[in-house]
Chains A and B, each alone.
Chain A
Amino acid sequence: IAGITQAPTSQILAAGRRMTLRCTQDMRHNAMYWYRQDLGLGLRLIHYSNTAGTTGKGEVPDGYSVSRANTDDFPLTLASAVPSQTSVYFCASSDGPGYGYTFGSGTRLTVV
């Protein structure tokens, strides 16, 4: 089934550890995004990529990095996790303006 796969589904991480959240799509969409969802704050954009080889910062990029080596994969890395990064992380992709996003099922991350 075409869509977005995120891994892991959930993770408990010790503060200070490095962690990479994986995101893979099989729809050949050019644009990909990472959001975090926190209660009362809605969805906030962390990083985005309009096409393979390019990335950009969203509204809450600090403490996160991304890469886009190819069309399908868009990993999100937390270099040194802090408790404020406890959240649900969603990866999404889009085929262009007007198509909206396809979302993955999310990664629930708890930093302790």
Chain B
Amino acid sequence: AQSVTQLDSQVPVFEEAPVELRCNYSSSVSVYLFWYVQYPNQGLQLLLKYLSGSTLVESINGFEAEFNKSQTSFHLRKPSVHISDTAEYFCAVSPLRASGSRLTFGEGTQLTVNP
């Protein structure tokens, strides 16, 4: 079984400041790692994912996440946030080579970017 812990339920920051949303996971098998974003009154959208290879993965809107196997973490970072980044962010994992592809989600981190 897998579990995901998002260490901060709410992260308030000012516009143009850097931000880090923390995610730790626990699993007895190798996993794929994902970050999803949910804007108000919308469904979740895939932001980025780590499957294999380079441990640093990037999204098209400036977010990046680094897989750290020894610390079982997959923290999400952005060097300079915009008001439009205000949303809830979910970290998720799924086991490799499992029947089906069920994701286990963290409880989410609400990022609020203030002017």
Partner of B99, one of A43, A50, A99: A50
**Which residue, of B42, B95, B105, has the highest number of chain A Cβ atoms within 10 A?**
B105
Q: In the bound complex, do residue B43 and residue A106 qualify as a contact, i.e. CB atoms below 8 Å apart?
A: yes
User: Which single member of A4, A41, A98 contacts B32 (CB below 8 Å)?
Assistant: A98
A104 near B107: Cβ-Cβ < 8 Å: no
Interface residues on B, range: 20 to 34
Q: In the complex, A69→B6 CA distance in Å?
A: 36
User: Given A98-B51, A101-B44, A106-B43, are A40 and B95 neighbors across the interface (CB < 8 Å)?
Assistant: no
Query: A105 contacts which chain B residues (CB < 8 A)?
Result: 42-43
How many inter-chain contacts with C-beta < 8 Å in the A-B complex?
67
Is B34 an interface residue, CB under 8 A from the partner?
Answer: yes
Total chain A interface residues with beta-carbon distance under 8 A: 26
- Residue with the greatest number of chain B CB neighbours at <10 A, chosen from A40, A94, A97: A97
Between A and B, 23 residue pairs with Cβ closer than 8 Å are A33-B102, A40-B9, A42-B90, A42-B105, A43-B105, A43-B108, A50-B99, A56-B100, A97-B32, A97-B95, A97-B96, A97-B101, A98-B32, A98-B49, A98-B96, A100-B32, A100-B92, A100-B103, A101-B44, A101-B46, A102-B46, A103-B36, A105-B42
